[in-house]
Amino acid sequence: MRFMVLVPGSPESEAGEMPSTELLGAMTKYNEELVKAGVMLAGEGLHPTSKGAKVRFNGGARTVIDGPFTEAKEIVAGYWVWECASREEALEWLKRAPFDGGVEIELRQIFEADDFGEQLTPELREANERLRGQAAAKQ
């Protein structure tokens, strides 16, 4: 099973400040553990929202809203993609991450074909995967 772990932004991440040497060290050690356990498939940090933008869709209108965005806790500052055998394993790994101060880290399972269950006929399943594959190939 594949999971995405979403790390929220903070005033510091939004200000483009690097974390303390101590936290950076703890995070490096944690990442190393994930890699040495064969769990981590990918992981990236994101630039502050001041470098980002939003597009609002309304009827035919498209409005571009430049960053920064205000609600820091609704902002994603980074993510991991993990391969785990179960939701419990992913949670067990997440519990070991060096976060503190009331921050909440979100764990989400990434859709794979089998998750659609009986509703998806073999033909639909195939068509669906083909579409998603084409989208991925164009990225």
Partner 1 sequence: MTASATNRAIDAVWRIESARLIAGLTRIVRDVAVAEDLAQDALVAALEQWPESGIPHNPGAWLMAAAKRRGIDALRRRVTFEHKQELIGHELQILQQLDQPDLAARLEDVQDDVLRLIFMTCHPVLSREARVALTLRLLGGLSTPEIARAFLASEGTVAQRIVRAKRTLAEAHVPFEVPGRDELADRLSAVLEVIYLVFNEGYAATAGEHWIRPPLCADALRLGRILAALMPPEPEVHGLLALMELQASRLRARVGPRGEPVLLGDQDRARWDHLLVQRGLAALRRAEKLSGTLGPYTLQAAIAACHARARSVEETDWPRIVALYDGLAALTGSPVVELNRAVAVTMAFGPEAGLELVDSLADERALRSYHLLPSVRGDFLVRLGRLAEARDEFVHAADLCDNARERELLLSRAVACDS
**Residue ranges binding partner 1 (CB under 8 A):** 32, 35-39, 41-42, 81, 83, 85-86, 88-89, 91-93, 113, 122-123, 125-126, 129-130, 133-134, 136-137, 139
Taking the least distance from each CB to partner 1, the nearer of 64 and 137 is 137
CA 70 to chain centre: 20
Work out the number of other CB atoms within 10 angstroms of the CB of residue 80.
23
Q: How far is the CB of 46 from partner 1 (least distance, A)?
A: 18
For residues 38 and 102, which CB has a smaller minimum distance to partner 1 in the complex?
38
- Cβ 51 vs Cβ 13: under 8 Å: no
Residue 5 CB, nearest distance to partner 1 (Å)?
15
Torsion of CA 51, 3, 118, 139, to 10 degrees: 40
| Smallest separation, CB 122 to partner 1 (Å) | 3
Q: Are 81 and 6 in contact (CB under 8 A)?
A: no
7, 105 contact by CB (below 8 A)? yes
Residue 26: is it exposed, middle or buried by C-beta count within 10 angstroms (0-12/13-18/19+)?
middle
CB of 6 to partner 1, least distance (A): 17
